[in-house]
Amino acid sequence: MSHKFIFRISYLSMAQTLCLILSVLFVSGQSDDWEKHILAVNNSQLTGNGKYLWQTVLQSKYADSIVKAADKMPVATNRRLIMKQLIPLLTDNCQGIAIHYVLCAIWKRQSSGDRGGFGSGNVTYHGLNFYEKEGQYMADPEELAANQKRWIEFMNQ
């Protein structure tokens, strides 16, 4: 009888240990995937189109996977971890605008539209002002810093 009891305890401990190991591997694998996806998102993936109303769109499978995964996560824990990884990139000249698009998509904020002036090349998207220059989307460093500050305030609410 005592051997069965010891076997059950050992089996349970092995099962728990295996679960713990698999969980750690899964979480660390997700972390690596997040970092790879985040590093792959950049402003060059923004495209503009439209004949009468100019619309700027972020076309990135990496951004899409970040948004889809974030939608499946508990808001209070995992989404905030993602935000902590994304917010520092808002001031980056190569990624800041694209990361802003990703954050807006994650939080599903309603946009009043991506409207710039007629032929001006200026775009405002959820409060971030940027422009097109020589086929690339750019924002002034001050604008990126102000945008980062707004996101930090939003996150701390």
Contact criterion met (CB below 8 Å) for 86 and 76: no
In a domain, 76, yes or no: yes
CA pair distance 96, 79, nearest whole angstrom:
19
- pLDDT confidence of 110, banded at 50, 70, 90? very low
Do 75 and 133 belong together in one domain? yes
Span 18-59, pLDDT tens digits: 444 434 434 444 556 778 889 999 999 988 877 666 778 899
Nearest 5°: phi and psi at 137? -90, 135
Contact criterion met (CB below 8 Å) for 114 and 58: no
Span 111-153, pLDDT tens digits: 334 433 334 568 888 889 988 887 788 899 999 999 999 999 8
Q: What is the mean pLDDT of residues 84-92?
A: 91
CA pair distance 42, 63, nearest whole angstrom:
9
Do 14 and 70 belong together in one domain? no
- pLDDT confidence of 78, banded at 50, 70, 90? low
Do 19 and 46 belong together in one domain? no
Alpha helices of the chain — where are they, by DSSP H?
2-40, 61-72, 80-86, 96-107, 141-155
Do 57 and 82 belong together in one domain? yes
Do 100 and 60 belong together in one domain? yes
In a domain, 35, yes or no: no
In a domain, 143, yes or no: yes
